[in-house]
Structure 1
Amino acid sequence: MSKISERLKNARIDKGYCVICGEYGFLSKDHVPPRCATTIQPMFQKTVSEHYYAEEVRPVNARWGAIFKTICKNCNNVVLGSLDNEIGKPIENFILQIKQYLEGKHYYGNIIPVPFNALLFLRAMVGHLLAATSVEVCKKGAISSDYYLPLREFVLGKNSDIGLTHDFYYWFYPNKTQITAQLTTFYNEGHACLCCCMHFFPIAFLITFKGEGTYPVHSSKLELEDKNLYFNMTQRNLDYVSFPFVPLRGNQMTLITSDFTSASYPQK
């Protein structure tokens, strides 16, 4: 009998430390990606390494989509709930423009612009990505490292200078497989880039330390002053849309903390 995915153990918890505010108590279920930005449907779920390299491992049956029980009700319903529309509207707009693009509507330089509120969009995206983690964090207490603490405080509205510590990148993601990953390092030409990512149709989102990022050439950097998201619709870099989980060349390596990753794909 085949082994079932490690993701199963990350669904069995009731109380713990919220990975955003750090308070101990009952935990609530958060959809990642959020309900406002994707269709909720039955999914199969594995860790990223199982998804790519262990076909024999049986996936978890995620009947209501990719769910993580890692944040408290206040952070889920009040903090992120008040921000979700800031993701939903731009994503809905982008999907509409993708259809127009495929029907032949001209876009200058194959770039699709999407209006958005950069600050609120970013807080929402970071918050949901923080929720997509291992329940081991909830057992031990929220991570307060130089990487995580500024992000947590940014989501809570306590840190307005997130651009001093982190960079954010995004690009068009055409795949159905939803990927979330934390504590992942991409090594290339002697440089190690610590990153977190959340990929779901039609956007890939990446967080790195300030000035230390490695990212696909067709990605755009998100700045808090931006009025639009700009998606480069080039088809020349399809091998890199799932970065950092991409074909490796030369001395490149992807180091994964498997328990902090998830790959969810629609049930056929």
Structure 2
Amino acid sequence: MHTEIVRGHCLICGTYGRLTWDHVPPQGSITITKVEQVHLTEVMGVDPVPVKGVKSPNGSKFKTICKACNSNHLGANDQEVARVYKELTSLVANHFAYASNHLDYVSLPFDAVRFCRAMIGHILSATSVDECKREPVETPYFTPLQNFVMGDNFAIGNTHDLYCWFYPHRHHLSAKMFAFKNRRNICTISVLSFFPLAFSITEKGKGIYPSGATKVELTDDRLYVNLSSGHFPYSGFPFTHLSDDQMILMSTAQAIVSYPIKE
């Protein structure tokens, strides 16, 4: 999806130097396969998808962060992401095999800080290398997220809200930033979604999210996920039908859809 680059500004710490590849979704949380990548703007509202994307032999990846951030801030916390996704996959399979004996919710132990730090870091990295060519500047949306990924547990408490919901789809979606309007509320949002869970970041107190979403607090020790099928039509958010006054605005390079493909 992106031009080749060797050195640039890390999109987490801002340091200029050699950049490394970051897999999004992270390795360990999915089985890495050959994928075909397209921009979300190329496929929204189109079915079947006629666009020929860019193929990658080993998953969707972005060369936008430095080795230190990749290892210390993401890699060190990716084990929690992998554990959550594997345990949730098992719970989902069990739920739908014996749905009559279960409530709509499933839950599992959850280290919210480690999980969110890794997921937010991968969202920051999933974009065009063109962003690495520019001097970093402070912004009210991204700077607190960067500080949180680098270890400040209190950086986003007054600036962002976090949500998760069941994601029953085969394709992966990473949208670093987009604006969404719903019933006069306009909110900046980031999303990283891959089976069986979607994760989103919103501006504090302005959250727009699909029905079935659960708010995540950094003090949580359990993750609750609503598996009710009534929420399935909205689970691909923002890859969903717009209605009434709903509008979406995004940069093409910041919203990527990856489809696992067979050899």
Q: Shorter-normalised TM-score: what interval?
A: over 0.9
Please give the residue correspondences for 1:2-21 in structure 2 after superposition, counting only pairs within 5 Å: 7=1, 10-21=2-13
Residue type at the aligned position of 1:32? V
Letter in 2 for 1:174: P
- Select which of 228, 231, 235 maps to 2:222: 228
Alpha-carbon distance in 2 for matches of 1:98, 1:143: 42
Once the two structures are superposed, what CA deviation does each residue of 1:12-34 show, in whole Å capped at 9, x if it has no partner? 11111000000001110000010
Quickly say closer, same or farther: Cα 1:213–1:107, change in 2 above 3 A.
farther
Structure 1 residues 53, 11: CA separation in 2 closer, same or farther (over 3 Å shift)?
farther
Partner of residue 30, structure 1: 22
Report the counterpart of residue 45 of structure 1 in structure 2.
37
Contact 1:179 1:261 in 2 (8 A): yes
Cα deviation for residue 211 of structure 1 reads 0.2
1:52 maps to amino acid: M
CA separation of 1:239 and 1:35: change in aligned 2, threshold 3 A: same
Verify the 8 A CA contact 2:171 2:194 in the aligned structure 1: yes
How far the C-alpha of 1:116 sits from its partner, in A, is 1.2
Helix, strand or coil: the match of 1:224? coil
1:90, 1:116 within 8 Å by CA — same for their partners in 2?
Answer: yes
d(CA) in 2 for partners of 1:233, 1:125: 21
Q: Which of 115, 131, 155 is residue 125 of structure 2 equivalent to?
A: 131
Please tell me whether residue 247 in structure 1 is matched to residue 235 in structure 2: no
For 1:23, give the aligned amino acid: T
Q: Does 1:84 align with 2:67?
A: no
Structure 2 residues not aligned, in runs of 5+: none
The unaligned stretches of length 5 or more in structure 1 are 1-6
Q: Which runs of 4+ in 1 moved over 4 A?
A: 53-56, 105-108
Equivalent in 176, 198, 203 of residue 197 of structure 2 = 203
Aligned residue number for residue 72 of structure 1: 66
**Distance in 2 between residues matched to 1:244 and 1:66, nearest whole Å:** 19
SS at match of 1:70: strand
Letter in 2 for 1:13: I
Task: Give the C-alpha shift of residue 102 in structure 1.
Answer: 1.9
TM-score, length of structure 1 as denominator length: 0.92
Give me the identity figure in percent: 39
The number of aligned residues is 260
Asked if 1:153 is matched to 2:141, the reply is no
Q: Structure 2: which amino acid aligns with 1:19?
A: L
8 A Cα contact 1:83 1:121, kept in partner: yes
